[in-house]
Structure 1
Amino acid sequence: MATMRLKEMQKQLTRLTVLLVMALTAASQAQPGCPDSCGSVSSIPYPFGIGTSSVNGENCFLEKDLNLTCTDSTLYRGQGNVQILNISLAGKIDMLVHISKVCKNELLGGVKTQGNLPSLRTPAFAISSEDNKFVTVGCDTYGYLNTFRNGTQSSTGCLTRCDSIESVQSRQRSGNCTGIGCCQVDIPPGMKNISFQASTFKNFNSTSDIPECTNNEHTCDSKDHCRETLGSFECFCPDGLIGDGTREGGGCHTRQKADAFTKIIIGAGVGLIALFIGIFWLYLIYEKRKVFKLKQKFFQQNGGIILRQQLSTREDSSHTTTIFNAEELKKATNNFDESLIIGKGGYGTVFKGVLSNNKVVAIKKSKIVDQSQVQQFINEVIILSQINHRNVVKLLGCCLETEVPLLVYEFVNNGTLFDYLHNQGHRVNVSWKMRLRIATEAVAALSYLHSAASIPIRDVKTSNILLDDNYTAKVSDFGASRLVPIEQTEIATIVQGTFGYLDPEYMQSSQLTEKSDVYSFGVVLVELLTREKPFSFDKTEEKRSLTVHFLCSLKEDRLFDVLQVGLLDEENQQEIMEVAILAARCLRLIGEERPSMKEVTMELEGIQLTKKHLWINTGKNFEESQYLLHETQSSYEHGDSSGQQNIEYDSLREHELIDFGNGR
């Protein structure tokens, strides 16, 4: 609606009747406990309603679109400002909606259209085409009634045109809308979600081309930059100047000034970008240099310079120690991802890694290193890297750029002998033939380390004997692989999983010797015979220590009672008896009376080569066995009338309360 309006539209509201799409219920009353009137609206029938019921707390309305609000005795639709005048049982609602208007004195040229459009969203209602008309009032005015249906807009409307305002006023007084200063159209059925739009235009037959430039009714930056047009004006910049000529657009200015300004803007932008990039690169260089210096510090601290010097003087290059960089091992383990951990204990953590050449390796990340033992550590790394034995886990190299050196070994992927014997996941019947082969391979590696490599092993146990795909034994965790200080080695050896393998002589002398390794291997042999753990707190006192229980059973001629059930048969009786006697010799209390690792190797290899035959407990075998057994037992009974055969067992009992942690 434009400059002039009909009398019934003076309040800028118009009455609109809408039809309820859904059928109303037959009942004309509101729900129990719900208001049934508001101000002049005397009847609010269900499914309409206000709020919730005071009786049962349920909604007074059927659906959200039928929710009404009563504010200051005035009924509104929902929480909005659409006033409802009446609700009939015939399914019609009378409501007031805002009109659309535009003032002609706001028009400077061309067409003026209202910005914000009054609208009414009625997804559940349709505008009644019988009770409503769409009316446009004013001179040189047109109005639109827009609707949206399924995302598509459609419109209807009409246009008025007149030469004078008096014609409109006369029609307004008569109350008729005949087309002069006022027009109306029928509303199409089924319109929903409507909006009103009013516009006005210049009628050049009824108004004169106003001199906006002369009268200073323009938006140009200067009158000289304003040009009159038919019914309007335009801003421009004369030759030699650039710009749009408007006040808002910055007006007109010379090209040199514009170019200079543009250059300043571009220069400032490029400068800021260059400054940001420079600062960023300086930061990266600083961080890179910081990391580099830290790596250098660790490399020197861990004996890297010593290792390089010794490697450069070596004539034999057949077994080269690789010095890995930290980034290479970090990439190989996906930044030491926990999902790649294959071993964990008091000594540190072992990760599975894949090098850039696709070689699978085991990377040991220790917890601590004794700086006073760096020289010894470097010497052992060089020695260990030269070891080339099929039953020894190969040390491929190390990384010295980290706080604690990383050791890189060949990857052995079938677990440990301890897991194979004791863990529930491997509770399969391991044949005696396989056990004897594994024992022979392991002791051959230990003998090699003792004699050829002169490596102090110090930690022989089934969890340090790895198995490859063919169940070939490979000895690991020896020499520099622990990387713990000497004073901590003693504690680690007792506490971290070696309980039950420890040489009883160590309890008195605090010295670990090659014969200590022999004793520990004797425990390994007993594990292979019995498939029992070296020490179990959950067993009876006489059976807690596997070695004590084994030796007592052997002395009392009850060896077969302590063997694993089902292991013994007619073909392996002799071999099992010989291995049991060898284990007993390895377990003698006095280290000097134990065989050397080389002698143990020769005996096991001899047992393997012996032709299979039925073992008969002849007098000779019995006498030899008894002699060896009593000789073994005598080492536990050095003149003490009360006997000291339980020295080892008693010493173990003293450590029953030690916390083992989760180490190997």
Structure 2
Amino acid sequence: MYSEELTVSATATTAQPRCQEKCGNVSIPYPFGIGANCSKNSWFNVFCNDTSSNPPEMSFGGGRDLVDILAEGKVVTRGWSITRCDTSGEGFRIFYGHNFTSSPYFLSQESNKFITLGCDNLGYFIGSSSYQTIGGCMSFCNTTEFKINGTKLAVTTNPSECNGFGCCSTPVPPLQEFYITTRHINDLGFLRDEPSTRCATALIADRKWFNLSSYQVKNIESADRDVPMVLDWVIEFSSTCKTGNVSANCGSNTECKEHSSGNGYVCECKKGYQGNPYLPQGCQDIDECADLKANPCDGVCTNIPGDYVCSCVGSSLALLIAVLASICFYQLHKKLKSKKIKEKFFKQNGGLLLQQQISSEEGNVEQAKIFHAEELEKATDHYNVNRILGQGGQGTVYKGMLTDGRIVAIKKSKKVDESQIEQFINEVVILSQINHRNVVKLLGCCLETEAPLLVYEFIPCGTLFQHIHDQSDNMSCTWNNRLRIATEVAGALSYLHSAASTPIYHRDVKSTNILLDDKYRAKVSDFGTSRSIAVDKTHLTTAVHGTFGYLDPEYYQSSQFTEKSDVYSFGVVLVELLTGKEPIFLSRPGEQRSLATYFLTSIEENRLFEILDAQVVKEGEKVEVEAVAYLAKRCLNLNGKKRPTMKEVTIELEGLRISKGQAFVQETHQEVECFIRQPSNLWDTGSTSTRYGSLENSVGLPLDDKPLLHNTSSYSC
């Protein structure tokens, strides 16, 4: 902790279960966390280097220095202290700053101040977009001088005050991007201009930390990260929260758990409770009777949930009856409240509409079951973190076991927009009717929670992405397996586009959304951004959703999604299967990062066989490989009209397999087992959740220590 006298760390805070609670003497409360799956998301990841330094070095939010985590939604990081000395009489201006845009952090207006030190110096801070001054102050000197730590500054009535003489200060707004700079007032053409050594310092610092009398003023040019600066953070991302508008209604309070409250800006335990308001059961009842100094009682003190009762000694029986009655009333009230909330969410999420669809003869969706919240809560062991299969932009997926013994994947979705309820219910009905062996089956849903819960069949053997890119043993994807998987995926997409009762566009085809079952068969998954379309329509005009590297450039430019947009994404998957390379090259700049661009350029330069995966070159016949490569090239055509349909793609791939005599061959035992030894991220739940710098990061947790039916943590092919 950088100053125990000036700041107070968050008390009664806890980390995620089984996660490191401290780094040195600094507590790391959730939503912050050390290690995989211990924080809310990557912005709250904390890295603790406690092996090579004492006290340990800490960083957070993408590599920024972390000094301390304070109560009430604040963290302390290191800011810049800049000093520039000028003896030439020519003006000077220097810039140092911070950029927290697109993050939940912003400069704390309450805790910081901007400070300028020096003679006749103008210090100010600016924004990045227009480079206009946002604020600042001037520090003056006269002919009399005084020294602090041997450095000449200016006369002041009280050296401990920043009153404008040699030192000035001003409040700062809640900025996310800002830069500090200095300029000598003489440069502006007024005040004295005699040559002298002119040193100017500017900094933004914790107002409790800065003290002029003890501050080590420097008389050499420097730019040091030695100043504690306080940042506020928000638990939800909205335009009002990002501005630091604490009084605004910043969210739906979904992040605030039981016995806590908040406006989306920060959460806090309700009166009578203490703990971590961001964790389930994080706010625990305080036993007020254990501290009678703070809770005076002249009679018999009895603790009750959230409060305590003080009664006279002579009425112990009456007190006992009153306490029991209050507890019973509280439990009854809690059950009734829970029931009303479930009924509210059920109606809010379109439950009545879904019931109508199920009961109607026209709907004919008996297989779409409506689950109760308690049933799914029990199936996931109260949504135990050890049951998490994957996290992403569309929600979190848990492994669960139903009362009939079936293993399922339960997706806790994001809240549904009320204007999209009817469309959401229609898509649930449509997806529940899909019965294709290469599409993950939707078994049903639960609408009694704020965000709907979707129940899918459980696919145990990982993603195609893992099999292509994370191989850990000698057994890899053979050419025959790659060709078969490509054919199966193409067939599933062709079915969705042209054979389903209502055409469905997937809108996020990628190798992490293709799962492999225990027979190594492909299963297309994650319909979180999928949309059904009327038979007489050719496209959807929507906000752009998808994953960088797979996103159709034509869709990105026009916002019109067609069936050919899925074809483009499938083309990228084909190239992954051919080359064994990931869809984005992080080490390359600009357009060179795209695997699709790299592949097309290589074909134009007649370098196809130089970029193919070694196993593809070794096992695939040249004619077959060239045919698949040419098909991928046509799928990646920038003009969507010139791309083949998924039905045409399927016919071509099936034709290749038939020509090899593999159309109906039973694969051997070695080919059908899956070989991911430590499956994680089995369910990529976010349409924008990837490892390549799209909108969110996806994090996977290990499966249960005690599997529900059979051990899925070790497979070999």
- TM-score calculated relative to the size of structure 2: 0.46
TM-score (structure 1 length as normaliser): 0.49
Greater gyration radius: 1
More helix by proportion, 1 or 2?
1
Higher relative contact order (CA 8 A, sep 6+): 2
